[in-house]
A and B are shown apart, each in its own frame.
Chain A
Amino acid sequence: RATLSSSGPCLQRSSPSSVALPWSSALKRNMTIVTFDDKHKGDLEFLRTLPAEILPEFCRITLEFLRRGANKKIFAPAAQKLGVPVDAISRVIEGLAHLMTESSRYMLSDADFGASVAVLNLPEATNEHLKTLYLTHRKEIRTILHELYPHLPHYVNVDWRLDVQVASRSLRGQTVDPQFILALTTTSHDDGASETSKDNTTNTNTTTKENDEITKYLQVDPHHLKHLTSELEAALQEIRANDVRRIMRNIK
């Protein structure tokens, strides 16, 4: 899986031109077709030379690769049977996997997928097979891709209240101890497993769950709250820094 999150098979080559690959498909997004650069095409050329029976096998291996990562041992017997080095097999598998993930990512329709694959000039049967493979497994590939991004809980709401402790069981009177009570609500969209949000001088009290929102009760004294707010304001100020401005300009 680690290879998926980097830009795809071609980055493993030393040639600098291959870096353009995944983003070239992104830039041409308005055409909603996956475009391939030459290295990728070269890999998939190999598919043309395959006898028809082996193609399903390759597709199955590709899906396993997507689910679990590369397993060189599987490639070895296939390589031996076809008389090519293991390296070539792994390149083809990775090329296929990249084709699948890119198509799933942009949710290509049948026609678009067909058009993308047509560029490779593979025999019609191969194209059909690839298309069925894509359509049947698209959802699964998307869930796999989805899992590659970290899911942190999202902030929903903060309620606060300022209390003053005047007495306690052990200490009666003569102490004035102001404290803030915060109720921090977070939501985590997927599995509902959320970790603790920030605390300062804490006493994390009970948590309640309500349609996968979690409320944590926290205590802060004014000192730490002031520090917290100044840190958050400094974070907001960062938006005005030169580096950040440059990045925002480039995203637009």
Chain B
Amino acid sequence: MKFRFCGELDAPDWLLREISSLAKLTNIRVKLLALQVIDHLLGGVLDFEKIGKLVAPANYDVSDVKGAIAALQFIIVGAAKYDVPDDALSQELQQLGLPKEHCGSLGRSMRNHRTNIRKALENQILKLPGVSSLDWRVDYILSSSDLRAVNAPSIQMCINVKDNDGTTTARPFEVSAEKFRVLYYELKAAQTIMEGLNV
């Protein structure tokens, strides 16, 4: 069976098991658990004490709690990732065995937080190391050991590149006036193309 929130693939077996264990909790508790998971996705911390209180009636042990959280996270991230509309999500979860009220409440939470979750996921997109800051300085070379009177401007730039693991490397270099003109012209052309695409 193909599910949209699984990216048109079959639902994994572990998800079916966790859904059947989630069904043991009441509607409200599942909704609050889902809110905790969404909070965590948006950058908060999982409050394990609260979660412990929420799952208390179902007598979960540690692995059950982890499984429930993992299942909810999978469902929520999948729904946001593949942009599944709320009613379709609700239907698919019902097909998997989650009771109707739970699906409804999950759908409503998704509706409220969908844009935020998508924004958070956007920040996690693979990024190559990028420019974090740029410093420059224009010098005027008066003379050198090879030529008595040079009288030419020169630009010194330092691009700080930020890697994915957070380290910043400084790459300083120097550009002569003509080369800099070429660089500037090309970058401006690239910027116009980017703006043209940025509708």
Interface of A toward B, CB cutoff 8 Å: 159-161, 166-167, 169, 172-173, 181, 183, 205-206, 208, 210, 215, 217
**Sorted from nearest, which 3 A-B pairs have the closest CB atoms?**
A159-B126, A161-B126, A210-B165
Main secondary structure of the interface of B (DSSP, over half): loop
Given contacts A169-B186, A215-B164, contact A206 B193 (CB under 8 A): no
Number of A-B contacts (CB under 8 A): 30
Residues of the B chain whose Cβ atoms lie less than 8 Å from the Cβ of A172: 189, 193
When the two chains form the complex, which single residue of A159, A161, A166, A208 contacts B197, counting CB atoms closer than 8 Å? Answer: A166
- Among A173, A181, A206, max chain B CB count under 10 A is at A206
Report the contact-size class of chain B (Cβ under 8 Å from the partner): 10 to 19
Task: State the Cβ distance, A178 to closest chain B Cβ, in Å.
Answer: 15
B193–A166 contact, CB under 8 A? Answer: yes
A206 to B163, CA, bound (A): 9
A161: B residues at CB distance < 8 A: 125-126
Q: How far is the CB of A49 from chain B (nearest CB, A)?
A: 60
Q: In B118-172, which residues have CB < 8 Å from any A CB?
A: 125-126, 128-129, 163-165, 167
B193 near A160: Cβ-Cβ < 8 Å: no
In the assembled complex, how far is the CB of residue B6 from the closest CB belonging to chain A, in whole angstroms?
Answer: 17
Query: With contacts A166-B197, A169-B186 known, is A181 near B126, CB below 8 A?
Result: yes
Bound CA span A215–B126, Å: 12
A-B contact pairs, 24 of them (CB 8 A): A159-B126, A160-B126, A161-B125, A161-B126, A166-B193, A167-B193, A169-B189, A169-B190, A172-B189, A172-B193, A173-B193, A181-B126, A181-B128, A183-B164, A205-B128, A206-B128, A206-B129, A206-B163, A208-B129, A208-B164, A208-B165, A208-B167, A215-B164, A217-B128
**Complex interface: chain A residues within 8 A of B193 (CB):** 166-167, 172-173
A167 to chain B: which residues have CB within 8 Å?
Answer: 190, 193
Q: Is the CB of B186 within 8 A of A183?
A: no
